[in-house]
Amino acid sequence: MAFSNQSTKLRLLKLLQHSLSTQPNTPVSLSELAQTLNVSRERVRQLYRKLAVEYTLPPVRKRRPGISENDRHQANDAVTKLTRSGDVVHKLRTPSPQTLALEAEVRKYIKQNMSVPEIARKIGRPAPTIYTVLQRLGLPFKRAKDTGRRLRNSSTLALEVEVRKYNEHGLSTHEIAKRTGRSESNIQRIHHRLHIPLPRRRKSRETQALEAEVRAYSEQGLTTAEIARKTGKHLQTIYRVLHRLGIPFNSVLRRKSPETRTLEAEVRKYSEQGMSAPEIAGKIGKTRTTIYSVLSRLGIPFKGVKDTGLRNPKTRAFDAEVKWYYFSLGMSSKDIASINRRDMKTVYAALHRLGIPLRKQSRRSG
């Protein structure tokens, strides 16, 4: 792996020096060099920074679209010629005494477990310069401490002390914001910066009284709707209080009216006599939908529709016509629909009512 990295670094240096000697004022593209060397652009950028400390290199231009195939071949040919010719690469620049002193100082402070911002303030250099020196020396970066990443002014430090004191007294974020005159979001950011868990908002006396009342009614077995009527609060408010207290909701049992109980008794009686839902609807004088709902609520299976003449005369006449066409003439459902000028679904419904299986093809004789 070390041989591969050294080979890539050497090839890159030869390409850069060849470009500097042939076109001194022309900046090079890191993307094109990366494609030529078959490495990533980030790798070329890192090697370029390391080589720029010791050698004079051409400037870098901004990123452009990928290198063309002809340019790639030309660059590869240039690298091959330089490698075969055995040209010796000479150093064009050595680190200055100031650079060596800076590196020694950074190395010393890193051994003292100081962070990069702390070293930058100690030496009087910007933090990016320290990061560059550490990267050049191959030293890992230390994490910035609480006071090293960014210097906070005296008012911010005083606010942090105040927030910490109020938090120890048990005040909520809302109360701390009121006392300090800051927004709740600002107080929450300070809690996050100081690694202090956010305190819960203190409940008012009205909320505590409502929770006690809801808890007492729930222990008595009252439903949510009954508790809402007792307390005079909205139903959703009671649901939120029960959820906050971890109390399960009591199921609402709707009491049936005398009319509903009478209807259910009638439907049950007629169903036990073997009557179908349409027959029960005609007997009681209710709609079929109502009878089906009652049967479903009582868990009674639906009875099939008998041909008792409950359908209107037009429907009965159409069913008889469909039956005659189907059996006497042997016509298919499509032929029946075309003759009667009805929809296919209407014919299918009539055949279903008559209990006749569907026939795909016509059996008419020519």
> Are 31 and 75 part of one and the same domain?
yes
From CA 321, how far away is CA 219, in angstroms rounded? 67
What are the pLDDT digits (tens) for 242-298? Answer: 888 888 876 655 567 888 889 989 998 988 888 888 888 888 888 888 888 888 888
pTM: 0.26
From CA 66, how far away is CA 69, in angstroms rounded? 9
Does residue 230 fall inside a structural domain?
A: yes
What are the pLDDT digits (tens) for 219-238? Answer: 888 888 889 998 999 989 99
Does residue 148 fall inside a structural domain?
A: no
Is the distance from CB of 156 to CB of 132 less than 8 angstroms? no
Question: What's the rounded mean pLDDT across residues 104-110?
Answer: 89
Confidence of residue 151 (pLDDT cuts 50, 70, 90): low
> Are 7 and 72 part of one and the same domain?
yes
> Are 348 and 281 part of one and the same domain?
no
Question: What's the rounded mean pLDDT across residues 310-333?
Answer: 78
Burial class (CB in 10 A: 0-12, 13-18, 19+), 266: middle
Does residue 307 fall inside a structural domain?
A: no
pLDDT, position 320? 83
Does residue 81 fall inside a structural domain?
A: yes
Is the distance from CB of 52 to CB of 92 less than 8 angstroms? no
Residues composing the chain: 366
pLDDT, position 149? 47
What are the pLDDT digits (tens) for 312-323? Answer: 778 888 888 888
Does residue 308 fall inside a structural domain?
A: no
Confidence of residue 146 (pLDDT cuts 50, 70, 90): very low
pLDDT, position 213? 92
From CA 336, how far away is CA 345, in angstroms rounded? 11
**DSSP character at residue 357:** P
Beta bridge mates, 28 = 60
Helix/strand/coil percentages in the chain, nearest 5 = 65, 0, 35
> Are 124 and 171 part of one and the same domain?
no
Q: Could you count the other beta carbons within 10 Å of the beta carbon of residue 282?
A: 16
Question: What's the rounded mean pLDDT across residues 192-210?
Answer: 80
Question: What's the rounded mean pLDDT across residues 108-120?
Answer: 85
> Are 263 and 337 part of one and the same domain?
no
> Are 42 and 73 part of one and the same domain?
yes
Closest CA to 304 of 265, 358, 353: 353
> Are 267 and 238 part of one and the same domain?
no
pLDDT, position 131? 87
**DSSP character at residue 32:** H
For 83, the token pair is 């490698």
List all residues 6 or more positions away from 359 whose beta carbon is below 8 Å from its beta carbon.
326, 332, 333
> Are 212 and 235 part of one and the same domain?
yes
Q: Which residue has the higher pLDDT, 61 or 291?
A: 291
> Are 237 and 185 part of one and the same domain?
no
Is the distance from CB of 163 to CB of 191 less than 8 angstroms? yes
- Show the domain range for 75: 2-85
**DSSP character at residue 297:** H
Q: Which residue has the higher pLDDT, 128 or 90?
A: 128
Above pLDDT 90, what percent of the chain? 3
Domain count, the chain: 6
Instruction: State how far the alpha carbon of 20 is from the alpha carbons of 25, 27, 76, 123, 172, in Å.
Output: 8, 9, 17, 35, 66
Does residue 232 fall inside a structural domain?
A: yes
Q: Which residue has the higher pLDDT, 76 or 39?
A: 39
How high does pLDDT run on average in the chain?
78
From CA 16, how far away is CA 48, in angstroms rounded? 9
Question: What's the rounded mean pLDDT across residues 133-154?
Answer: 66
Q: Which residue has the higher pLDDT, 151 or 9?
A: 9
Does residue 145 fall inside a structural domain?
A: no
Is the distance from CB of 35 to CB of 67 less than 8 angstroms? yes
Question: What's the rounded mean pLDDT across residues 125-143?
Answer: 81
- Asked if the model's pLDDT at residue 192 lies above 80, the reply is yes
Does residue 30 fall inside a structural domain?
A: yes
Query: How does 195-229 read in b/e, with b if 16+ C-beta sit within 10 Å?
Result: eeeebeeeeeeeeeebbeebeebbeeebbbeebbe
> Are 28 and 80 part of one and the same domain?
yes
Question: What's the rounded mean pLDDT across residues 22-39?
Answer: 84
**DSSP character at residue 39:** S
